[in-house]
Chain A
């Protein structure tokens, strides 16, 4: 499977510069959609279908796209003010009485400020709640370290029974939200989302199953495992690697579910390819890369390289420029892939 809306390739790149220019041209050919707009649209549509669906937010109804839902269903929109601990507790209480309750706020506050409520009120109590962490990763890059979020996956992953999802684009976000609602287990789900405009590349008929990775592209040389906004960058990189004179065939795995992780897809890749490259908009400590390594920690002799946020506070800046400055972009994925395959040395 390849990305939809393929534009004609104007030049076949043969040098690194041409490759980067090709990636930039390709990237610019895709539509951008604000994550919060998509979330609001998806939530409103699902609310009509699921009468028990209730949203709880902490003064971020506007910022998370819930205004239309609140106007259509005022009795199902709970706003607790700037009080994230209460936000999560109230959400758990609603769930215990049969509501499909969804806590919606920024990922940083949900995963750090209210984490004990997440652990005790939601997970330990066995509540089916959906915890929507918006503005995750560097999607609020100008917000600085208080709003940039690179710990949430590590923290949420450590909580027993927690499901952790990071959909790749607007289309997948819509499907992931439905999957959360239809998920039968009494266990909380953390849904990690972006904030502002993000590239949308998935076809509307893409399937989404919690715990099942999606192979977006096949290849036997290298496997790129990515989730969230990094899937799009991984796809650009894989296409570029195939086109450039090196003819490297790269498998791209969209690992939208970090927990429970799709072990089979990872083990299958480990048997076939020469290296695994993990790309995540999260700290390299405890996120998707760590989850992949946990699958490979027993006798799988395959090189694994992780591209993520290193153990330092990232700079402050606009999302895409900031991601690029930290290597969270197709251009750097191409370089790291070539390093892994010994095609270049840094």
Chain B
């Protein structure tokens, strides 16, 4: 495969499974990891020809916080029974997850060069547990993740284990009725080992999320469903960390919902909050602009 400009611009990557022993990153390192994540996504999308830029960039800080500070995982043993679980329910932003898993040491860095490029490659538009170590659940069809998270959290309770389950949902995704079925069951079974995060970037494929399907006062809605809810700037890592990193089985008997207010396309001026960048082709000129804009971590 020919080396594209996208690949040569790729920053140095830690070798596969060499990230252990893991020490949670400092705030400065987390911001740098978020920057690297956006560059990785851009490179993958450049090689593929197009991609879900908006949705991928809106959840970068959330995944960075999870994989490089909060979650108890072991890249050398991705199926470790006592690990924290993460379900990337808004599956179409997969490159953000791939970058996190690769930089954390779950998957070989070379896989990033093959995103969507050929038949049979390991990385495709939506994450897959079949092909990708570290992916707990294959996703892509929206509205599935929270139910699976409920099942995992229930199993944790039954087995008296202290792992936590994190589910990242898109704000458009929660239009799906199955999400609210899951919300009810999580409250019924008092799953305080379950943390859901809504990536509230406010844009769907067809326009403003509130125009496509008004979800109203989201925090109050989840509260009414029996969840402990929080609202936070989803790009503010220092604000995200304490909300995500709650005690395991904290004992307040409520599942935890974090509404993370984010900006679709965050970090790239011409993509921010622009509907068309939900999924689009990036030209070489635009690519150069993106890489230039992503020279420094977001503050």
Cross-chain contact A81 with B158 (CB below 8 angstroms): no
Which residues of B are found within 8 Å of A91, using beta-carbon distances?
Answer: 151
- Closest B residue to A101 by beta carbon equals B151
Q: A90 to B137, Cβ gap below 8 A?
A: no
Q: Is A24 an interface residue (CB 8 A)?
A: no
Q: Answer yes or no: B138 CB below 8 A from chain A CBs.
A: yes
Secondary structure type dominating chain B contacts: helix
B267 to chain A, nearest CB (A): 31
Q: What is the minimal beta-carbon distance from A76 to any residue of chain B, in angstroms?
A: 7
Q: Given A86-B178, A89-B182, does the pair A99, B137 have CB atoms closer than 8 Å?
A: no
Task: Judge if A134 is at the interface, Cβ distance under 8 Å.
Answer: no
Chain A residues within 8 Å of B139, by CB: 120
Which chain B residues numbered 140 to 166 have a C-beta less than 8 Å away from chain A? 140-141, 143-144, 146-156, 158-159
Given contacts A80-B185, A120-B140, contact A54 B147 (CB under 8 A): no
Given contacts A83-B184, A117-B178, contact A124 B154 (CB under 8 A): no
B182 CB contacts on chain A under 8 angstroms = 86, 89-90
CA distance A91 to B181 in the complex (A): 14
Q: Are A125 and B181 interface neighbours, CB within 8 A?
A: no
- Let me know if A126 and B129 touch, CB within 8 A: yes
Q: Tell me whether A90 and B140 are in contact in the complex, defined as CB-CB below 8 angstroms, given that A81-B185, A85-B177, A117-B178 are known contacts.
A: no
Residues of A within 8 A of B159 (CB): 97-98
**Cβ of B137 and Cβ of A125 under 8 Å apart?**
yes
- Interface pair A120/B149, CB less than 8 Å apart: no
Given contacts A95-B151, A99-B158, contact A78 B189 (CB under 8 A): yes
**Chain B residues with Cβ under 8 A from A124's Cβ?**
128, 130, 138
CB distance from A233 to the nearest CB of B (A): 39
Q: Does A88 contact B (CB under 8 A)?
A: yes
Give the complex CA separation of A91 and B141 in angstroms.
17
User: Which residue from chain A places its CB closest to the CB of B135 in the assembled complex?
Assistant: A125
Shortest distance from the beta carbon of A214 to any chain B beta carbon, whole Å = 34
Contacts of A85 in B (CB 8 A): 143, 147, 177-178, 181
Report if B223 contacts A (CB, 8 A). Answer: no
Bound form: Cα–Cα A242–B272 in Å: 79
Asked if A34 is at the interface (CB within 8 A of a chain B CB), the reply is no
The 9 tightest CB contacts between A and B, nearest first, are A93-B151, A89-B147, A97-B155, A86-B181, A83-B181, A85-B178, A93-B148, A90-B151, A94-B151
12 contacts between A and B (CB under 8 A): A54-B158, A81-B184, A86-B182, A89-B178, A90-B185, A92-B148, A93-B155, A94-B151, A96-B148, A116-B144, A117-B178, A125-B138
Name 16 extra pairs, CB < 8 A, besides A83-B185, A90-B147. Answer: A56-B151, A80-B185, A85-B178, A85-B181, A86-B185, A89-B182, A92-B137, A93-B151, A93-B152, A93-B154, A94-B151, A97-B152, A98-B81, A99-B155, A120-B139, A125-B137
Give A contacts to B, CB under 8 Å. 54, 56, 75-76, 78, 80-81, 83, 85-86, 88-99, 101, 116-117, 120-121, 124-126
